[in-house]
Amino acid sequence: MSDLNTDEIIDDLGFFDDWEERYKYIIDLGRELETMPDALKTTDRLVKGCQSNVWLETQVNDGIFHFLVDSDAVIVRGLLALVLAAFNRKSAQAILDFDIDNYFGQLDLERHLSPTRGNGLRAIVAKIKATAAAAV
């Protein structure tokens, strides 16, 4: 995935006039994600609480978290790209300190997701934050 940060994503999404265009942009972000090898798509990497299958692999190198994610739904891959922009290649403390609610609010995202997609997004964030909390 390109090295977009959260501010750039907020700016880019603000450029689009309607949510159909924003969804296309989010889906494109998901297409840019690194592909997770099938061998890593195991039950223990599945994130519970998601409507679609979502796999999360976490590696920590020198205190910096690196996440590899995948989903069987294209829009969810895009949502995962939004989450990675906030958390990937950050320290545990930076992950815990990041105001994800403010970020999602600026994206105006949750008003445009189904309740099950919103719950799934929260489950992914909770899993990442729990992993970071365990490292502090």
Catalytic residue numbers read 50
For residue 110, the number of C-alpha atoms closer than 13 Å in the C-beta half-sphere is 13
> How many angstroms separate the CA atoms of 109 and 51, rounded?
17
List, in order, residues 6 or more apart from 43 with CB less than 8 Å away.
none
Sign for the pseudo-dihedral over CA of 108, 112, 114, 115: positive
Q: Where are any strands of DSSP class E within 1-136?
A: 54-61, 64-71, 90-91
Q: Where are the alpha helices (DSSP H) in 5-91?
A: 6-15, 19-31, 74-87
Q: To which H or E segment does residue 100 belong?
A: helix 100-107
